[in-house]
Structure 1
Amino acid sequence: MLHSMPTDIDRARTALTPERWTEAATEVLVDQGIDHVRVDVLAKQLNVTRGSFYWHFKDREDLLRAVLQAWRARATEQLTARLERAHDDPREQLRDLLSLPFRGRSAVRAARIELAIRAWARRDAMARAFVDEADAARIGYIAQVFSALGFGIAEARARAQLLYSYEVAASLLAPQGGEAQRQERASFIERLLLQPLSA
């Protein structure tokens, strides 16, 4: 029985996974904005035909949803699970949270993706829903840390909101100051957030 030789398109379909398309779309989103995340742009960048894209995705909307799902998995679900596994002590978990914006190149990359997705979410309902869900999940996790430190539910959530706001701002302002200044700020925020309020 004769078997046909695989074509370039067949090879492209098998070589390029959905994850590779999603990574390429994320890179374009970060560098050029959501309007440039188009099938033709990505196909050219990946040196394949548009047909290769449709092997993995129904349409552009399907790809954009995959970008948001990958971001949610990496930046919220996997990160939270990793932080929970790293320490049993909630105070150490809190210190890990405070250090997140300053963890080198990976933190800079994460901040750039976060900023691009938040810019996209200002004008797109699907992206907005993913961002709102991520914010709620992250604040919920941080509130659990504060609850484990002995704060009541309402106060734990308020402190979590403050810490999360600091995290988002610090990720954008990470280059400000040297390492010693960053450590000093993180230490101050930790003391501030752990200080019981007077009755």
Structure 2
Amino acid sequence: MTCTMAVARTPRSSWIAAGLRALTTGGVEAVRIELLAQALGVTRGGFYWHFTDRQALLMEMLDAWEQDVTTGVIEKVEAGGGDARTRLRRLFSVAASGDGLLTDIHTDFAVRDWSRRDSAVAERLRRVDNRRMNYLRRLFGEFCPDPDEVEVRCTLCFTVWIGNRLLTVDHGERTPAEVMELIQRRLIE
């Protein structure tokens, strides 16, 4: 009688998550198979059970990121129901939470940096940003009849979400979180 043992493979999702962590902390150059294997505590050979090469991993990382920051966020927001203002408040909360690796603003920044050097990534980022803006337009458009006002609010909302993480400004007696709350209230009034 022979005894065979099943070989436990590192799941594909673990490689993708490790790749996104590497991208976030070190840029696309840090997404290297041998470094990911080391971070996961496995051999490089396990990588090839899931991916043909590094490029295949990079594309799946972008797929996972895109799914999480668009469809995933929209589904979370819509699942709670409510009117447009309620859903916008929920969107602000989800975006501020950085709930998970992919929705973290630093991953978003890393993808934006990567897009400056790779036209395919730039096109993917444009698609994601357009989907985000279209969702905002739909929400703001439910209670704001002026298309120009909708565009202004959407652009302010999106740029505040991104730019707020880059500021190192003092707000007097207010905390950054209090200022964000004021901005959000102003946008949805």
**TM-score of the superposed pair, with normalisation by structure 2:** 0.83
Deviation at 1:189, TM superposition (A): 2.5
User: How do residues 168-183 of structure 1 correspond to structure 2 at under 5 angstroms?
Assistant: 168-173=162-167, 181-182=175-176
Unaligned runs of 5+ in 2: none
Deviation at 1:44, TM superposition (A): 2.2
Q: Which residue of 2 aligns with 1:78?
A: 72
| Structure 1: 4+ residue segments shifted above 3 A | 97-102, 104-109, 152-155, 171-184, 190-195
Q: Which residue of 2 aligns with 1:160?
A: 154
User: How do residues 91-170 of structure 1 correspond to structure 2 at under 5 angstroms?
Assistant: 91-103=85-97, 110-170=104-164
CA 1:62–1:165: 2 relative to 1, 3 Å: same
Deviation at 1:122, TM superposition (A): 1.0
- Counterpart secondary structure, 1:15: coil
Deviation at 1:159, TM superposition (A): 2.4
Q: Which residue of 1 aligns with 2:4?
A: 5
- Counterpart secondary structure, 1:123: coil
Deviation at 1:135, TM superposition (A): 0.3
Whole-angstrom distance in 1 between the partners of 2:32 and 2:54: 7
1:67 to 54, 61, 64: 61
Q: Which residue of 1 aligns with 2:15?
A: 21
Alignment RMSD, CA only? Answer: 3.0
Unaligned runs of 5+ in 1: none
**TM-score of the superposed pair, with normalisation by structure 1:** 0.79
Whole-angstrom distance in 2 between the partners of 1:17 and 1:69: 16
CA contact (8 A) 2:33 2:54 kept: yes
Identity %: 29
Instruction: Please say if 1:52 is aligned against 2:46.
Output: yes
Bigger Rg, structure 1 or 2: 1
Deviation at 1:151, TM superposition (A): 2.1
Whole-angstrom distance in 2 between the partners of 1:174 and 1:141: 29
Aligned length: 189
- Counterpart secondary structure, 2:104: helix
1:157 maps to a residue whose letter is E
If each structure's helix is expressed as a fraction of its own residues, which one has the higher value?
Answer: 1
2:84 to 70, 73, 90: 90
CA contact (8 A) 1:143 1:157 kept: yes
Whole-angstrom distance in 2 between the partners of 1:179 and 1:79: 32
